[in-house]
Amino acid sequence: MADRVPQSSGLSALRGRISFIDLVQSLGLMAIILLGGLIMTAMSPVFATVRNIENVLQSATIIAVVAIGQTFVILVAGIDLSVASVLVLSSVLAVGLVQFQGLSPEIAIILALCAGLGIGLVNGLAVTKLRIPPLIATLATMTIGRGMAYIYSGGTNIAPVPRIFIDLQASRFLGVPGVIVLTLVLAALAQIVLSRTQFGRSVYATGGNPLAARLAGIKTERVIIAAFMISGLMSAIAGLLITARFEAGAATAAQGLELAVIAAVVIGGVSLFGGEGNIGSMLLGVLLLGLVQNAVNLLNVPPNWDSVVSGLVIAAAAALDVYRRSYLEAGMRKKIIAKAARSTPKTS
């Protein structure tokens, strides 16, 4: 039997390089981001200031937190359009429950998060038990969620916000704004869950091949429901962040945010077909999108043109990424042949 084990000659040396590809892949987005940053530094004196960078990162936190949840849903081959509605609902609840119902801010925040979990649960049940396609199910909760936020808030933003939000926005850890730290902590947690836990592995398996996952003993329906609940929870947390940022229960904010989030997640290498992607490179997608937005603002692109410009940059980034990947593979291939030619003696 020993002679049937994979021939080890040139191959063992290549082993390490397989995961190296993943690394270079995220470096690719990183490179685009750095290049964009350099160009921006040259074109705008404001860009490379601490204040502007902090601003870019801070506004990216909201998309990032929502995108973390969305990543779970897309990994199980679903999609969640209700995220922006959950976000505003959570925002108006967190402020409104204090102002209108007189609850303590802590209770209000907990209830706001529960609302997110609840809508996630409804999405999950609709998709698994009623077998409504995720696009339709979450389109429905998206409309309903936004409507409820309007009804509750009376269609306007609610202010002032409890002290706790002001403090959150002002907080700093080691000089870094608290909301950025919070986002990074959530991202790290999500990455650990995805790569190191039984649940995370089940997420990838369910998205990659639901039937095979089920036959391997994974309760795929529960996994899908959990993914939607995580997305709901994350959107609700993002709702708290936006409350802190705008200092208001923001009923009218985040219009079209769900599409920006989905774009960021996909640019970050998460496959819309499910089963593929990770939080780290996904965050780079968010960052790229944030950068484009910032560039559009700083360079005074006429308001009517900014979405056109963003769209073009997104398409260019995606194309560049595809090109780089195939270029990389071709290079690897040449190396393997050269190596094999050197190291394997010809047999019969």
Partner 1 sequence: MSVAEVISVAEDLRPVLIAKGITKSFPGVLALDNVDFNVRAGEVTALLGENGAGKSTLIKMMAGFYAPDRGEITVDGVVLSPDPSSAHRVGVATIHQDAHLVPAMSAAENIMLGRWPTRYGWLNKRLQKERAARALARVAPHLNPSTPAGRLSSADQQLVEIARAISEDSKVLIMDEPTTSLSPPEIDRLFNVVEDLKSKGMSIVFVSHWLEEVFRIADRVTVLRDGRLIGTRPISELDHDKVIRMMVGREVRDTILTKRPVGDVVLKVSKLTRENVLENISFEVRAGEIVGMSGLVGAGRSELAAAIFGIDPYDSGSVEIGGIAVSPNDPKAAIEAGVGLVPEDRRQQALVGLMSVKSNITLSLLDRISSFGFLSMAKEQAIADREIRALAVKTPSSKTRVSTLSGGNQQKVVLARWLARKPKLLILDEPTKGIDVGAKSEISELILRLAEGGMAILLISSELPEILTLTDRVLVMRSGRISASLPKEQATAETIMSFATTG
Taking the least distance from each CB to partner 1, the nearer of 19 and 304 is: 19
Select 16 or 302, whichever has its Cβ closest to partner 1.
16
| Cβ(254)–Cβ(84) below 8 Å | yes
189 near partner 1, judged by CB under 8 A: no
User: Rounded to an integer, what is the distance from CA 136 to the centroid of its chain?
Assistant: 21
Number of residues binding to partner 1, judged by CB under 8 A: 47
**Least distance from C-beta 254 to partner 1, angstroms?**
32
Residue type, 163: R
Q: What span, in angstroms and rounded, lies between the C-alpha atoms of 215 and 212?
A: 5
Among 19, 300, 304, 326, binds partner 1 (CB under 8 A): 19
What track of x and - describes contact with partner 1 for positions 20 through 39 (by CB under 8 A)? -x------------------
Buried b (16+ CB within 10 A) or exposed e, 189-206: ebbebbeeeebbebbbbb
- Nearest CA to 253 out of 110, 99, 66, 74 is that of 66
Q: Could you tell me if 93 and 108 are in contact, meaning their C-beta atoms sit under 8 angstroms apart?
A: yes
Identify the CA nearest to 242 among candidates 153, 151, 168.
168
Binding to partner 1 by CB under 8 A, coded x per residue (else -) over 265-294, reads ------x---xx------------------
Tell me: does residue 322 bind partner 1 (CB under 8 A): no
Q: Which stretch binds partner 1 (CB under 8 A): 82-90, 215-223, 251-259, 307-315?
A: 215-223
Complete DSSP assignment for 40-68: HHHH-TTTTSHHHHHHHHHHHHHHHHHHH
Q: Which region, judged by CB under 8 A, interacts with partner 1, from 18-26, 94-102, 114-122, 223-231? A: 18-26
From 94-102, 239-247, 288-296, 340-348, span contacting partner 1 (CB under 8 A): 340-348
DSSP at 176: E
Interacting residue ranges for partner 1, rule: CB under 8 A:
1, 3-7, 10-11, 14-15, 17-19, 21, 196-199, 201-202, 204-205, 208-209, 211-219, 271, 275-276, 329, 332-334, 336-337, 340, 344, 346-348
